Every structure is written in structure tokens, then in C-alpha cells.
Amino acid sequence: MLFHAFLHGYNVSKRELQLPKTEQEKEFEKFPEWIKWKSMVELSQSWEKIILLYSDDDVKAFNKFFVLFEEFVNRDKMLENEKNL
């Protein structure tokens, strides 16, 4: 997935420039484990390969990333709503 390459390049650039991680970047570090939990994959697969596994092609995987990422960002709100039901 090309998007993963973009994110990797972004992280390498920040590291080389010795820029500190933002709170959002620190939170995103939890995304790979969340994807494994969400998809119930116990193998040592990267988050982008897991998304590709459940997508027909790169375009659908790209779009699915944003759907999953939004769910990841809102996961605490979703758990709170489930508790209130």
C-alpha cells in the first residue's frame, strides 16, 4: 500500500530532523495493535498487510484505512456509548 510508504517516509524525515512526536503520532503508534485486535489476526503481520488481506485491491485498502482509522480515533467514544446502552 503506497500510503504506508508515505507514512514511513514522513516518520523517517521527522526522525532525521530530530522533531518530537506529536500526541497524535504517539496515539497512532497504538493503531497496529488495534488493527490486529479488530481483525483477530494473531500472526506477525503489519497493519497495512492486514488491511490489504481484507480488501480486493490497493484502492479499496486505501479507502478502508480511513474508515478503520476513524473507528480507531473514536474507539473510546464507541465503548462509552456501548456501556450506556
pLDDT tens-place values along the chain, 85 residues long: 677 888 889 999 999 999 999 999 999 999 999 999 999 887 788 899 999 988 999 899 999 999 999 999 998 877 666 666 6
| pTM metric for this prediction | 0.77
C-alpha cell at 67: 474508515
* d(C-alpha 47, C-alpha 22), whole Å: 21
Angle at 54 between CA 34 and CA 1, to 5 degrees: 80
Integer CA distances (angstroms), 31 to 9, 71, 83, in order: 18, 10, 22
Domain locations along the chain: 2-83
